[in-house]
Structure 1
Amino acid sequence: MDYSSLVDFLSPSNVIYHSIVLVIGLVAGSFLNVVVYRLPMMLNKHQPEDEEQLNLCFPASHCTECKHPLRFWQNIPLLSWLLLQGRCHYCHEQIPLRYPLNELVCASLFLGMSVLFDTPFTLLSAFTLMWFLLALSLIDSSAYLLPDRLTLPLIWLGLLVHSVGGEVTLHDSLYGTVVGYLALWSIYWGFKILLNKEGMGYGDFKLLAALGAWTGWQSVPYLCIIAAVIGLIFTMVRALIKKKTGEIPFGPCLSLAGGYIYISQESHVFWLMLFSLKDI
């Protein structure tokens, strides 16, 4: 970014615009926390006995320890956590750090998208994809689950977005869904036939199908390679730190790869950076 671009970025109108985007990202991050916490329990994964009627709307936001409903000022994204010094106002139990961090990460992603995309349609599309990928990554990391309630809508949204516009045609988006699903489905059954073990879950198939819908069938091989490399690096780091491997969630790896390729396709920024490095 040169000096003139920096001056333009820091102009009052741009500062107001990006501030609004930041607030939208924090609110989206707050709802993301609700989805990440409640959806696995709604699907009978780690569901407490006292949360039988839990859904995304009921009961209202409350402390997970003392169950006391939160007032408005106690439920402001990020700000409430800072004002409460990270503790519940009623029982004084510590509020997990992951909640404000999730909000901050979501807001940062939205802010980054607002810099890379300049039309309302492409920006809204990027917001939608990044929110879903972040939610799926967090759920898979904690519950080893990629819910159909998120992966299937993401498939339809990808097809819908590319029926209206974008760098990928609807034809490529449709075949991207098919190729994405069959790619991991084939690996799954090959692994199971040869070793009599399940190497991954069906949620991974659906997530790659969704990413194929968003990035086109031509990107599926790159998605698989990049995700595999990310998974390998994560496994090696985990083995060095914890001296063990165990089951590795593949959803975050696919999400990172898919987000990178989508941004590269739609904004061309990362491709331009790559070509610039080649010229050095």
Structure 2
Amino acid sequence: MPELSPWAWISIAAVLGLLVGSFLNVVILRVPARMEAQWRQQAREVLSLPEEENALPPGIVREPSHCPNCKHPLAARDNIPLLGWLLLRGRCRYCKEPISIQYPLVELLSGILSAIVVWKFGPTWAAAAGLALTWTLIALSGIDFRTQYLPDQLTLPLLWLGLLLSLIGMFVQPGPAIIGAAAGYLSLWSVYWLFKLTTGKEGMGFGDFKLLAALGAWMGPTSLLPIVLLSSLVGAVMGGTLIALRKHDREVPMPFGPFIAMAGWIWFIAGNELMQAYMHLTGMR
């Protein structure tokens, strides 16, 4: 069997990323809905109210894809990543309602980032772990952007996976991974309480702490300051742009999770190169 060239592996990763991106759209839409339904169920139990019929929305795996408007099941050809949306011209085949641009964007983003991961690490176990990190960060970003939730169902497995990978020293050793996880959580936790005590408002959610802790477990404590600085810079630029264009009310909270995820992924892929460039520009050796 002939060996595949690096570009063949990159192409395979891109196609796989497109397919996974289609599934990530399901995760982004259905996980928050099921979380909220479970919270309502728990509240009804506490209040001794009868259970609701058909209280839980569709699950992630078993229920087939369907139009969110007319609920009609989608044909296989409509589920082809990117092509399905383009062939339908962004509208449901059955009810003609517009299909959110989120679907092709998530698929395209997943495909591109997956290709970059394999370009960086090659066909290795490190690339497989990097793909898991990438896909989880995309799902978390999409969920937080839509709902301002960062579900424990995704942040905590990401944290534990980073710690477990440190046992074989894939990206960092166990000591730095543990310190990175603790420092990542405590740093934003401290900022949260300092902001709340001085302003009486909550500046971020606990999910942000867990996400940064997970990134600390994957990349160690030295990654945390660059990730926080980079995420703050990106958040300030994007937030300021949206406010300037009047597409976001300055009084409405903006989720910070997507910026942490974006900065974490950039540092995971190019942290060493960025640090070397910074040291070169500042004359440090």
Alignment equivalent of 2:22, drawn from 30, 37, 41: 30
Q: After superposition, where does 1:86-101 map in structure 2 within 5 Å?
A: 86-101=90-105
SS in structure 1 opposite 2:5?
helix
| Equivalent residues of 1:22, 1:107 under 8 A apart | yes
When normalised by structure 1's length, the TM-score is: 0.86
Residue 264 in structure 1 maps to residue 275 in structure 2: no
Q: 1:111 to 1:272 in 2, by over 3 A?
A: farther
Q: Distance in 2 between matches of 1:30 and 1:39?
A: 14
| Equivalent residues of 1:109, 1:130 under 8 A apart | yes
Q: CA deviation at 1:74?
A: 2.1
- Counterpart amino acid of 1:257? A
Q: CA deviation at 1:66?
A: 1.3
Q: Distance in 2 between matches of 1:217 and 1:276?
A: 22
- Counterpart amino acid of 1:35? V
| Other-structure match for 2:110 | 106
| Other-structure match for 2:218 | 214
Q: Distance in 2 between matches of 1:51 and 1:102?
A: 28
Q: CA deviation at 1:82?
A: 2.3
Q: Distance in 1 between matches of 2:133 and 2:9?
A: 21
Residue 42 in structure 1 maps to residue 17 in structure 2: no
Which runs of 5 or more structure 2 residues have no equivalent in the other structure? Answer: 41-52
| Equivalent residues of 2:184, 2:213 under 8 A apart | yes
Q: CA deviation at 1:117?
A: 1.3
- Counterpart amino acid of 1:112? I
Backbone CA RMSD of aligned residues: 2.4
Residue 252 in structure 1 maps to residue 244 in structure 2: no
| Equivalent residues of 1:116, 1:269 under 8 A apart | no
Q: Distance in 2 between matches of 1:137 and 1:216?
A: 21
When normalised by structure 2's length, the TM-score is: 0.85
Q: CA deviation at 1:71?
A: 2.4
Q: Deviations over 1:34-65 (max 9, x none)?
A: 00011110111799x97734211242111111
Residue 203 in structure 1 maps to residue 195 in structure 2: no
Q: 1:271 to 1:225 in 2, by over 3 A?
A: closer
SS in structure 2 opposite 1:44?
helix
| Equivalent residues of 1:77, 1:100 under 8 A apart | yes
Q: 1:88 to 1:115 in 2, by over 3 A?
A: same
Q: CA deviation at 1:183?
A: 0.5
Q: Distance in 2 between matches of 1:223 and 1:270?
A: 12
Q: CA deviation at 1:269?
A: 4.2
| Paired positions, count | 265
| Other-structure match for 1:189 | 193
Q: Deviations over 1:166-212 (max 9, x none)?
A: 34111101111111111011111111222222111111111111111
| Equivalent residues of 1:176, 1:216 under 8 A apart | yes
Q: Distance in 2 between matches of 1:269 and 1:152?
A: 29
Residue 230 in structure 1 maps to residue 234 in structure 2: yes
Alignment equivalent of 1:124, drawn from 128, 136, 140: 128
Alignment equivalent of 1:241, drawn from 242, 245, 264: 245
SS in structure 1 opposite 2:245?
helix
Alignment equivalent of 2:86, drawn from 70, 82, 98: 82
Q: Deviations over 1:15-46 (max 9, x none)?
A: 43332111100111001000001111011179
